[in-house]
Structure 1
Amino acid sequence: MPQQISNSSESTRDMQFLHWVRISRSNFRTLGWRRFVKGGRLSDVGRLPRYVALYLLGASCIWAPISGYLATAPVKYTSHASLILPGSGASASVNLANIGQASSYANSAFANGSISPTETYKRLLSADRILDAAAKAVEADRDAFGKPRVQLVDQTSLIHIELQAASPADAQQYGDALVAAFFAEIDALRADEITTREASNTGAIEDYTRAIQATRAEIKQLQSQSGLISVAQYQEQVAANDRAKQELRKQESELARQSERVAALQVALNLPSDAAAATLKLYADAQYLSLLEDVSVGAAKLAQADATYGSRHPIYVNAQNDYEGARSVALRRAAQVTGLEVEQLGGLDRAPEGQRAQLLSELVREDALRAGLEEHVATQRAQVRLETLRLSNLAPIAAELEDRQRDFAVAEAVFASAIARSESKKTDVYASYPLIQVLENPSLPTRPSSPNKKISIAAGIVASLMLLMGLVLAWIRNPLISKLLKDQKEAAV
Structure 2
Amino acid sequence: MMTLTFPFARKKHPRKGGLARRVVMGGKLGDVRRLPRYVTAVILGATLIWAPLLGYLKTAPLSYRSTTSLIMPGSGASASMNVNGIGQATSYANSAFASNAVSPTETYKRLLGADRIIDAAASALNIKRAELGQPRVRLVDQTSLIHFETTGRTPEAAQARGEAILTAFFTELDALRADEVDTRQDSGLQAISDYRISVADTRTQIEALQNSTGLLSTDQYDVLLERHLALGQEIQAQQARLSERVAATTALEAQLGLNPALAAATLKLFANGAYIALLDEVARTEVGLTDALALYGARHPKVEAARSARNNSASMAMSHAQLITGLDAEALNNFDLAPDGARADLLAELVRMHVEVSGAKEQLATLESQRVESQKALDIFAPAAAKMKDLERDFSVAEALFASAIARAQSSKSDIYASYPLVQVLENPSLPAKPSSPNRKLAIMAGIAATLMLLISLAMGWIRIALISRLMTKPEVAA
**TM-score, normalised by the number of residues in structure 2:** 0.71
- The alpha-carbon deviation at position 150 of structure 1 amounts to 2.1
Residue aligned with 1:164, SS? strand
Q: CA deviation at 1:246?
A: 1.9
Deviation, 1:191, is 2.0
- The CA deviation at 1:139 is 1.3
Deviation at 1:414, TM superposition (A): 4.2
Query: Take 1:485 and 1:155, find their aligned partners in 2: how far apart are those partners?
Result: 56
Q: Which residue of 2 aligns with 1:239?
A: 226
How many angstroms does 1:136 deviate by? 0.8
Taking the TM superposition and a 5 Å limit, the aligned residue runs for 1:217-232 are 217-224=204-211, 225=213, 227-231=215-219
Q: Which moved more, 1:109-118 or 1:435-444?
A: 109-118
Residues 160-189 of structure 1 deviation map (CA, whole Å, 9 limit, x = unaligned):
332112233222222221111112122222
1:244 positional shift: 1.1
Q: Distance in 2 between matches of 1:262 and 1:441?
A: 106
Deviations along 1:112-161, one digit per CA (max 9) or x if unpaired, are: 45544333322222111111111111211211122222223455443333
Say if 2:170 is the partner of 1:183: yes
Q: Shift in Å at residue 484 of structure 1?
A: 1.4
Q: Residue type of the partner of 2:234?
A: E
Report Cα offsets for 1:194-243 as digits up to 9, x if no partner: 22232333333334434433444444444443514234x43332222122
2:73 pairs with 1:86: yes
Which has a greater percent of helix? 1
Q: Distance in 1 between matches of 2:271 and 2:77?
A: 99
SS at match of 2:473: helix
Query: 193, 199, 215: which one pairs with 2:180?
Result: 193
Aligned residue identity for 1:439: L
* Partner Cα distance (1:454, 1:95) in 2: 66
Does residue 166 (structure 1) correspond to residue 143 (structure 2)? The answer is: no
Contact 2:267/2:339 (<8 A) preserved = no
Number of residue pairs matched by the alignment = 437
Preserved CA contact (<8 Å) 2:266 2:336: no
| Structure 2 Cα separation of the partners of residues 353 and 276 of structure 1 | 8
SS of aligned partner of 2:53? helix
Shift in Å, 1:465: 2.0
Corresponding residue for 2:370?
383
Seen in structure 2, the aligned counterparts of structure 1 residues 362 and 80 have a Cα distance that, compared at 3 Å, is closer
Q: How does 1:357-436 map to 2 (within 5 A)?
A: 370=357, 373-436=360-423
Q: Do the aligned residues in 2 keep the contact of 1:258 with 1:366 (CA within 8 Å)?
A: yes
The CA deviation at 1:96 is 4.1
Q: Is the 8 A contact 2:215 2:384 kept in 1?
A: no
State the shift of 1:245 in Å. 1.3
* Cα drift, residue 399 of structure 1: 4.0
Single out whichever of 195-204 and 171-180 deviates more from structure 2.
195-204
Note the alpha carbon deviations across 1:292-342, whole angstroms, 9 max, x for none: xxxxxxxxxxxxxxx99xxxxxxxxxxxxxxxxx9xxx9xxx99x97x9xx
Equivalent AA in structure 1 for residue 411 of structure 2: S
**Counterpart position of 1:299:** none
SS of the equivalent of 2:134 reads coil
5 Å-filtered alignment, 1:195-214, equals 195-214=182-201
Percent of pairs identical after alignment?
50
Decide which of 109, 133, 143 is 2:120's aligned counterpart: 133
SS of 1:83's partner is strand
Q: Scaled by the length of structure 1, what TM-score is found?
A: 0.69
Aligned residue identity for 1:227:
L
1:272 and 1:87 map into 2 onto residues whose CA distance is 99
Taking only aligned residues, the RMSD between alpha carbons, in angstroms, comes to 4.9
Quick check: 1:145 aligned with 2:132? yes
Deviation at 1:100, TM superposition (A): 4.2
Query: Amino acid of the residue matched to residue 202 of structure 1?
Result: L
**Following the alignment from structure 1 to structure 2, what is the Cα–Cα distance between the partners of residues 387 and 443?**
88
- Which residue matches 1:252? 239
- Please identify runs of 4+ aligned residues in structure 1 that moved more than 6 A: 261-285, 356-368
Greater Cα offset, 77-86 or 212-221: 212-221
Residue 269 to residue 85, structure 1, CA distance change in 2 (3 Å)? closer
1:90 Cα deviation from its structure 2 partner = 3.6
Paired with 1:140 and 1:383, the residues of 2 have a C-alpha distance of 95
Aligned to 2:337: 354
Show the counterpart of 1:70: 57
Which amino acid in structure 2 is aligned with residue 58 of structure 1? Answer: G
- Paired with 1:86 and 1:172, the residues of 2 have a C-alpha distance of 25
Aligned equivalent of 1:442, options 429, 437, 444: 429
Q: Secondary structure at the match of 2:24?
A: helix
Q: 2:451 aligns with which of 464, 467, 470?
A: 464
3-state SS in 1 of match to 2:118:
helix
Separation in 1, partners of 2:254, 2:143:
113
Out of 449, 452, 462, the residue aligned to residue 475 of structure 1 is 462
